Amino acid sequence: MAYTKTTITKAVKRTRVRVPRFEKTKEWRMMKADIDKGLKPTDALQVIFTEEDMQKYRITNRRTVARYVKNYLTSHKLPYRVKSFQVAGGGFTVQVSGMAHSS
């Protein structure tokens, strides 16, 4: 056992042990491929999860999926916008869209 005084930036950080559930889905692989190809300002991507999809992939809420997509975009420095909202019938939608330039 060793004890040392250090700074917060040098401290050992916990690494993520498991892969996020959304990352395992076919929908994410398709969305990621389209994001990596690039989006025009007028393009948008959308993934819709029904109640059955949420049970199948054991995804409990839309915020975790939207946060995952947003973190992916941020880490790759991509200028896209993420929106998520509930849909009628109990599912949810997550949208990624290009940033239209304002004139």
Q: Which residue has the tokens 């997550």?
A: 94
How high is the mean pLDDT of the chain? 85
What mean pLDDT comes out for the span 11-26? 83
- What's the total number of domains in the chain? 1
Residue 47 inside a domain? The answer is yes
Residue 81 inside a domain? The answer is yes
Residue 75 to residue 52: CA distance in whole angstroms = 30
Residue 66 to residue 84: CA distance in whole angstroms = 6
Query: Residue 52 sits in which domain range?
Result: 22-97
Element (H, E) at 84: strand 81-86
What mean pLDDT comes out for the span 20-24? 86
Residue 84 inside a domain? The answer is yes
Q: Does the pLDDT value for residue 56 go beyond 50?
A: yes
Q: Which tokens belong to 3?
A: 């004890």
Do 83 and 94 form a contact (C-beta atoms < 8 A)? yes
Residue 53 inside a domain? The answer is yes
**Neighbouring-strand partners of residue 49:** 92
pTM score, two decimals? 0.74
Residue 15 inside a domain? The answer is no
Greater pLDDT, 61 or 80 = 80
Rg (Cα) of the chain, in Å, rounded? 17
Residue 16 inside a domain? The answer is no
